[in-house]
Chain A
Amino acid sequence: MQVVAPSTVNGVASTIAVLVLLVEFGMLRAGLLRSQVRLYAAQSLIASLLAVFLGVVRHEPELLILAGLSIALKTVVVPLVVLRLVRQSGTATTGSGILKPAGAALVALAVAGFGFFAVGRSGLRVDGLSPTVLGSAVAIIAVAFVLMIIRNDVVSQAVGFFSLENGVSVASLVVAAGMPLILEVAFLFDLLVAVVVFGVLMRVHHEEQSTLSTAQLTDLRG
């Protein structure tokens, strides 16, 4: 079997994508709400750097514009909005969750592994990039779901959803890099609207429950 070294583009893109995934694991581990939000900002920045890198090497200036908008929104605006809410709530730590950190990490590793496996089996072919980047994107989405499920505070759950969107963004850079800018901007605008609504409902939740924890949300069971 012939082993071929990855090209520089492939290597850099894969490294950035794996970094985004590692930050997702960091969010799973974070015990302070502020750390959680800052890690999300860092993850968004790294994901945007992937857009910058691919924009430069593929000569697609639209990706640079997208990266600029993404940094402004996801690295600055969203974290600031969420951090403000955290400050106002007077809560510092994340909800303890239904799993201990080691158990959560194991579950996350398993679903991330499944993400890579699923991409390998899906038959998707992406010209110019190795399956590692797409596998990382799917793994980020899967770990984001774990974060949303095991944490029982509204901030971690909202940040889990926002980071899920980062995973989709990485996937989009790999398999749909040529998507018209207007559609990408529409997605970002929609995220902004969702952030506002998440913010409003987090505030409503805090007013009604006097806590950011979701442990008390047991009256309704589907």
Chain B
Amino acid sequence: MQLLILVMLGGLVGIACLLMPPRAARVATVASGVISLGLAVSLIADVTHGPLRFGFLRADSLSVVFVLTAAFLYASAAVYAIGYVNRSAPAGYQRRFLFGLNIFGWAMICAPLVDGLALLWVAIEVTTVVSALMVAVDRTRAAAEAAWKYLLIASAGLGIGLFATIIIYHAGTTVYGLSYDLTLNQMIAAGGRLDSHAARLAFVLAVLGYGTKVGLAPVHTWLPDAHTEAPTPISAMLSGSLLAVSFYAVLRYVQITQLSVGAGFVHTVLIVFGLLSLFIAAFSLLVQRDLKRLLAYSSIEHMGLLCLGVGFGAPIALTGVLLHILAHAAAKGNAFFCAGVIMHKYGTKDIGSIRGGLDKLPWTGPLLVASVLALSAFPPFGLFRSEFMIIAGGLARSSVMVVAALLVLITIAFVGLIRATTSTMFVPARPGTPAAALPRSEPSAWMVVPIVVGSLALVVLGIHPPDQVMALLGQAVTEFGER
């Protein structure tokens, strides 16, 4: 029953926001986000006894990891939006913004819960069109440009994803005949009996197609623009959750294809895409001058890391990947939320113009430093634990050269991230500059609360993840078939 509520709540509240006064819409949005998160957490216990099914919905341990991610950022962005959306803005704009935020959160919760690869494609396409509209919601010239490029490139990628869906369907006709439902259970049960030629082709197309939305190089070019120009709560949801939900689609193809054609081919493809993404992101991070663009490239880096983690093919690495998805959502959400506060305070995203952040923003300054350290996998944050597990898996199962390349590239990425952070946070503003005249204050407590909660979640995931969460991840790895 909670599955049904979960896949309806955000959508209904989103539609209701169009009809309510802005104040009521804000309250409804926060309530919907928090209730969705509560329902997602309650799914953890429910899926320990096996997958839940309800009509065309299905939840197993793997999908619940992604639902948790989506629901967490939906709730955080809903709270953050109270402080972010200017209350003196036209009521129509406020309603449209909250409608879009709810529908976007709802679409990302639904995607991992639909049963079958065809419906998964439909759900992910819905996340694309909704988020493209939200990228353009501020109606600036740059936002319109970013939204158009995003819609065109992501839709073209998903066109390839649709082709992958058709081909994997064809792969299953050797087992189920001409007409069947393409449900996950069917495809997993078919395993090695799928047409291996078709499964292999479908996998490559899926990595390329869905990989466009994941932000994997070389099909990542929409990502920095869209993340930079979107309103900050949407940037956080794009980076922390949308990329992960698209990665979920890739994981499902990995799960099915490795049963059919063996793990070697699958892992090689993922390692190639992972290394290429890490390489491009790491060196791009060194030259960024825009705070949000810096964080966008960091997302490409982390998506590359996830690909490598799966490509290593070790259970500990896959557990690390799933933990990484949860921790990255919290850390990247936090970093974008901090960037939004900084933009609000300084009126710019230009790294060269932002100085003395620790002094001017008593909460956000230290929280941004903590978020960047978390993204750089410093202890005691969750990403330290997850990257440690991924690297341990790589050393156990993969080439030392690949692991060495990974370590070098994430170190380069760290240099790019920390250089920008130290210059904006620790270097004081020069007297006479606009930054020097800013008062020491936070724009809104509503914008700080979700960052504090996200930071606590990161520390908990790093020091002692709840047993239920680790059990969920372990079960997901077992169901995934990694041995």
Q: Mark A161-197, 1 if CB is under 8 A from B, else 0.
A: 1001100100110011111100100110110011011
Residues in A neighbouring B181, C-beta threshold 8 A: 180, 183
In contact, A164 and B159 (Cβ under 8 angstroms):
yes
B 208-227 contacts with A by CB, 8 A: 220-225
Q: Note all chain A residues with C-beta closer than 8 A to B155.
A: 161, 194, 198
Report the Cα distance A190→B128, complex, angstroms: 11
- Chain B window 130-150, contacts with chain A (Cβ cutoff 8 Å), 1 for yes, 0 for no: 001100100111101111110
Is residue A124 within 8 Å, beta carbon to beta carbon, of the partner chain?
yes
Q: Is the CB of A148 within 8 A of B156?
A: yes
**A81 contacts which chain B residues (CB < 8 A)?**
none
Interface of A is mostly: helix
The chain A residue sitting closest to B170, CB to CB, is A175
Chain B residues in 8 Å Cβ range of A157: 152
Q: Is the CB of A124 within 8 A of B201?
A: yes
Q: A197–B156 contact, CB under 8 A?
A: no
Which B-chain residue is minimally distant from A208 (CB atoms)?
A: B144
Residues of chain A lying within 8 A (CB to CB) of residue B133:
197, 200-201
Q: How many residues of A contact B (CB 8 A)?
A: 47
Contact B179 A179 (CB under 8 A): yes
**Given the complex, which residues of A lie within 8 Å of B177, measured CB to CB?**
178
Report the minimal beta-carbon distance from B122 to chain A, rounded to whole angstroms: 5
Distance between Cα atoms of A172 and B170 in the complex (Å): 9
Q: Which residues of A contact B173 (CB under 8 A)?
A: 176, 178
Contacting residue for A217 out of B121, B148, B228, CB 8 A:
B148
- Asked if B179 and A122 make an inter-chain contact with CB atoms under 8 angstroms apart, the answer reads no
B174 to A, closest residue via Cβ: A125
A197 with B132: in contact, given A164-B159, A176-B169, A180-B179 (CB under 8 Å)?
A: yes
**Contact between chains at A205 and B144 (CB < 8 Å):** yes
Other than the known A178-B177, A179-B166, A209-B144, what 11 A-B pairs have Cβ atoms closer than 8 Å?
A124-B170, A171-B167, A180-B179, A183-B116, A183-B181, A190-B126, A197-B151, A201-B148, A207-B139, A219-B141, A219-B142
Residues of B near any A CB (own CB < 8 A): 116, 118-119, 121-122, 125-126, 128-129, 132-133, 136, 139-142, 144-149, 151-152, 155-156, 159-160, 162-163, 166-167, 169-170, 173, 177-182, 195, 197-198, 201, 220-225, 228-229
Of all A-B residue pairs in the complex, the 5 with the closest CB atoms, nearest first, are A178-B178, A222-B221, A123-B197, A178-B179, A175-B170
